[in-house]
Amino acid sequence: MNGSVRTSSWWLALALAGCATPALRGTGDLGLVVERGSGRVLIVDTTARQAIGAVEGLGDLSHASVVYSRDGRYAFVFGRDGGLTKVDLLKQRIARRIVQAGNSIGGAISQDGRLIAVANYEPGGVKVFSSETLEQLADLPATELGGGRRSKVVGLEDAPGNRFVFSLFDTGEIWLADLSDPATPRVRRYTGIGAQPYDGLVTPDGRYYLAGLFGEDGAALLDLWRPEAGVRRVLSGYGRGEQRLPVYKMPHLEGWAVAGREVFLPAVGAHEVLVVETENWRETARIPVHGQPVFVMAQPGGRRVWVNYAYPDNDTVQVIDVPSRRIVGTLKPGKAVLHMEFTPRGGEVWISARDDDRVLVYDTASLAELARIPARKPSGIFFTSRAFVIGM
Amino acid sequence: MNGSVRTSSWWLALALAGCATPALRGTGDLGLVVERGSGRVLIVDTTARQAIGAVEGLGDLSHASVVYSRDGRYAFVFGRDGGLTKVDLLKQRIARRIVQAGNSIGGAISQDGRLIAVANYEPGGVKVFSSETLEQLADLPATELGGGRRSKVVGLEDAPGNRFVFSLFDTGEIWLADLSDPATPRVRRYTGIGAQPYDGLVTPDGRYYLAGLFGEDGAALLDLWRPEAGVRRVLSGYGRGEQRLPVYKMPHLEGWAVAGREVFLPAVGAHEVLVVETENWRETARIPVHGQPVFVMAQPGGRRVWVNYAYPDNDTVQVIDVPSRRIVGTLKPGKAVLHMEFTPRGGEVWISARDDDRVLVYDTASLAELARIPARKPSGIFFTSRAFVIGM
């Protein structure tokens, strides 16, 4: 009888443990904080403003980025070492993991959520995987450079219609790849788009792909509504300029802030944020700021743009008021501010301070600090709301 | 021994049943279809393109609308009879329900997700509730009309900063209410904004609140970035016009489609979609269409605007190409098309055909039908991605 009671209790405990561990919850207020260097991601809850778990074993996460499945349950983490890891945010564990290249730089998820594309440096090209199984479905090797080497791929973004658009750093190309049928990808190649494109963005309306150039001043613009019109050069003054200012960190283009009819973008080298109108893609203003900007991000539903900076000014975040173009706030979140992520309706912003081993949460209206979350060398912060945005 | 085994099995079954019923899953691809008239909502899965459950007992759901909690787990359903029901999409049951007024017309959730506001006809005004408990936190009675009656409230939307903005139909007012501290709401009242505002919208950038007028031609515009500048009259030609065309159904303003610098909006009475540029809010074009438009909705990340129509043309949906302003598709989803909802990245659209008791799913690129889902007199369709959008 005692034995039976023990057995039944054991079974009961097992049954309860088996189901009780992953709590039933919505996934809309979850996200990941990348712990650069430790191969770990924190799972965070933006309602509780807390880390609620961690998942280890993701490899080299320097410069890692994340996209989400359409249900918000799974994160796809792109590591620097070519690792592609599917993380289950509810079970708080790795669902699948592959090492798909030797060196890679981010990826994207298709509009329908079925395809994951990864941009690779080595071997240069794009590989496409099933988001369900991580089975490889397509391989798009980049243009050959000779000696068996291929161009590095950068600035990979998703575009409407299960297309991916990306740039070839070494050969100065933009490729627009239609993966509607992954077995037979259709690729349109634009050559001679400019020297050394180093990053790209898709505007929030899904219309334009813009690639920044490292090898010359200017940017390359592709109108995805009219791909037959080709790539044109815009922003001829955008870049390092003739003086070749020392650049401590190339700015991120994904962070370019589209606010209404204007784009706010980080100057290269200079202590300025540039304002560009998107009708003719011409510069209309320059706003003096605290340092060399890295991310310039529009607060959702707000009239504010947030800016962080390269070394040695990377302890600072500034807030620009869009209509007046004035700086209305300066924060000192900590040492080595690497990334910012807004809650989806813009009420709060999460900021990582790598060298202070913490993430800070601020109210975007009052600029009051709401929480600080311990993290080991945090870098990128990515919320599940990215699942619903084109060109992330 | 037998008794003990039975007991242990019973406990085991109970333990498993208690946890196994609601499956662990993400909430990003869920939504509700309102079954007008039967007091029931279907829970739908946009990945499977299926109904996965139903919840009954929600009262009168004619003209019902829905907003979502920030985690995407809970829907707040605003019924026509003043019912406010919190539905748990994971447990597929009512979490809480109150009847908060005699007659109401939609609501909104605050930017921080903590407050639910409801627009009431009877008694006229706005009531604000805790999204957690549905406990009443604030009451904003509308302007008195005499005899104990108060103005009906319409066009209630959320705005950045935990504010709500709404219109008073009978007294021609717009109110901007700051609920940062629900115990002491601060309300700014704009009077004389025009005769009989009947619906409103907040533009996707969170900047403008626009109210359509029933009692005269034109619309009222409030710049939420400069609330001190007051409400101004725009679109003087917008309305029923001097000929007073018969209007079978007043168009919905929430559906006004903002695409880039332009708004596409339903003409009142005429068989036209109007194009308005949002720099000066002037009409720039009129597109002839199949009937009197009701919803004119921009496909996310697309270059297309979708239109449905009032009786007797309510079996038809048309698709307009934005740059060319041409109609590029005409669909016949069924009898009495009431609503359309896009998957968040725009790849698919769900359309309700009330009198054919079905919901249809189309590929927005090919216009191919992908699925049809049986539903009893379906009206509104609302996906959880609305949790991340301002002004819904």
- State the pLDDT at residue B23: 84
Highest mean pLDDT out of A12-16, A92-96, A322-326: A92-96
* Both structure tokens of B54: 């139903």
Residues from chain A contacting residue B205 (CB–CB below 8 Å) = 259-260, 301
Task: Compare CB distances from A8 to B4, B27, B387 and report the shortest one's residue.
Answer: B4
**CB-based contact, A16 to chain B, within 8 Å:** yes
- pLDDT at residue A79, as a whole number: 95
For chain A, what's the residue count?
A: 392
Q: Is A184 on the interface with B (CB under 8 A)?
A: no
- Averaged confidence pLDDT in chain B: 91
Instruction: Choose from A239-243, B80-84, B101-105 the range with maximum mean pLDDT.
Output: B80-84
pLDDT tens-digit series, residues B16-42:
444 446 889 999 999 999 998 889 999
Interchain pair B27, A22: CB under 8 A: no
Residue A225 in contact with partner chain B when CB distance is under 8 A: yes
Q: Which residue of A has its CA nearest to B6?
A: A8
Of A100-109, A305-314, B336-345, where does mean pLDDT reach its minimum? A100-109
Give the HSE-up count for residue A305: Cα atoms under 13 Å, Cβ half-sphere: 30
Q: And the tokens for B382?
A: 């609302």
Chain A partners of B12 at a C-beta cutoff of 8 Å?
8, 11-12, 15
Q: How far apart are CA B382 and CA B72, in angstroms?
A: 12
Which member of A1, A205, A365 has the closest CB to residue B260? A205
Look up residue A14 and give its DSSP letter: H
Q: How far is B105 from chain A (nearest CA, A)?
A: 23
The minimum CA-CA distance between A260 and chain B, rounded to whole Å, is 7
Highest mean pLDDT among A271-285, A329-343, B98-112: A329-343
Q: Does B324 touch chain A (CB under 8 A)?
A: no
Residue A207 has pLDDT above 50, yes or no: yes
Read off the pLDDT of each residue in A321-345 and give the average, rounded to a whole number. 96
Q: Is the pLDDT of residue A254 over 80?
A: no
Does B187 score more than 50 pLDDT? yes
Compute the average pLDDT of residues B55-84: 96
DSSP helix/strand/coil, B384: helix
Q: How far is A131 from chain B (nearest CA, A)?
A: 13
What was the pLDDT predicted at B242? 62
pLDDT at A364 over 70: yes
CB contact under 8 A, B1 and A5: no
Q: How far apart are CA B212 and CA B238, in angstroms?
A: 8
What is the predicted pLDDT for the residue at B243?
65
Instruction: Identify residue A254 by its one-letter amino acid code.
Output: E
pLDDT of the residue at B4: 43
What is the per-residue pLDDT across B254-307, written as a single tens digit (0 to 9) for each? 666 776 678 898 988 899 999 998 888 899 999 999 999 999 999 988 789 999
Q: State the pLDDT at residue B252.
A: 77
What is the CA A83 to chain-centroid distance, rounded? 16
> What was the pLDDT predicted at A15?
47
What value does the mean pLDDT take over residues A48-65? 96
Q: Which of residues 49-88 of A touch B (CB under 8 A)?
A: 68-74
Q: Check CB contact of A131 with chain B, cutoff 8 Å.
A: no
pLDDT value of residue B10: 45
Q: Tens digit of pLDDT for each residue in A2-46?
A: 444 444 444 444 444 444 468 899 999 999 999 988 899 999 999
Q: Which of A8, A24, A160 sits opposite B7 (nearest CB)?
A: A8
Q: pLDDT (tens digit, 9 = 90+) per residue, B189-201?
A: 999 999 999 999 8
- What is the reported pLDDT for A3? 41
Interface test with B, best of A46, A71, A328 (most B CBs within 10 A): A71
Which residue has 């609920």 as its token pair?
Answer: B179
On average, the pLDDT of chain A sits at 91
Percent residues over pLDDT 70 in chain A: 92
CB of B332 within 8 Å of any CB in chain A?
no
- Amino acid letter for position A372: R
Res A245: pLDDT: 64
Q: How far apart are CA B160 and CA B206, in angstroms?
A: 7
CB-CB contact of A33 with A381 (8 Å): yes
Question: How does pLDDT run across B157-180, given as a tens digit for each residue?
Answer: 999 989 999 999 999 999 999 999
| A18 contact residues in B (CB cutoff 8 A) | 19
Burial profile A238-260: b = 16 or more Cβ within 10 angstroms, e = fewer: bbbeeeeeeeeebbbbbbbbbbb
The pLDDT, as a whole number, for residue B244 is: 61
Cis bond upstream, residue A312 (ω within 30) = yes
A47 with B113: Cβ contact below 8 A: yes
Those residues with Cβ within 8 angstroms of residue A3's Cβ, 6 or more apart along the chain or in another chain:
none
Confidence of residue A243 (pLDDT cuts 50, 70, 90): low
How many Cβ pairs closer than 8 A exist between chain A and B?
Answer: 190
Q: Does B162 touch chain A (CB under 8 A)?
A: yes
Would an 8 Å CB–CB cutoff place B325 in contact with chain A?
no
Query: Using one digit for the tens of pLDDT, what is the confidence trace for B232-264?
Result: 999 988 887 766 667 677 777 766 677 667 889
B301 touches chain A (CB under 8 A): yes
Query: Measured between CB atoms, which of A26, A206, A303 is closest to B69?
Result: A26
Question: Is residue B184 less than 8 Å (CB to CB) from chain A?
Answer: no
pLDDT for A240: 73
Contacting residues of B for A29, CB less than 8 Å apart: 70-72
pLDDT at A203 over 90: no
Contact A300 B206 (CB under 8 A): yes
The conformation of residue B16, written as its DSSP 8-state character, comes to H
Query: Touching check for A207 and chain B: CB below 8 Å?
Result: yes
* Chain A interface disruption, residue of B67, B281, B388, most A CBs within 10 A: B388
Query: pTM to 2 decimals?
Result: 0.93
Name every chain B residue with its beta carbon within 8 A of the beta carbon of A15.
Answer: 12, 15-16, 19
- Contacts of A75-81 with CB under 8 Å at 24 or more apart are A75/A32, A75/A41, A75/A382, A75/A384, A76/A107, A76/A109, A76/A116, A76/A131, A77/A32, A77/A34, A77/A41, A78/A104, A78/A105, A78/A106, A78/A107, A78/A118, A79/A104, A80/A104, A80/A105
Higher pLDDT, B167 or B225: B167
Structure tokens belonging to residue A56: 């280890």
* A228: CB partners within 8 A, 6+ apart: none
Inter-chain touch A73–B22, beta carbons under 8 Å:
no
Q: Which residue type, as a one-letter code, is found at position A245?
A: L
8 Å CB contact between A305 and A259: yes
Burial of B94: CB neighbours in 10 Å, binned 0-12, 13-18, 19+: middle
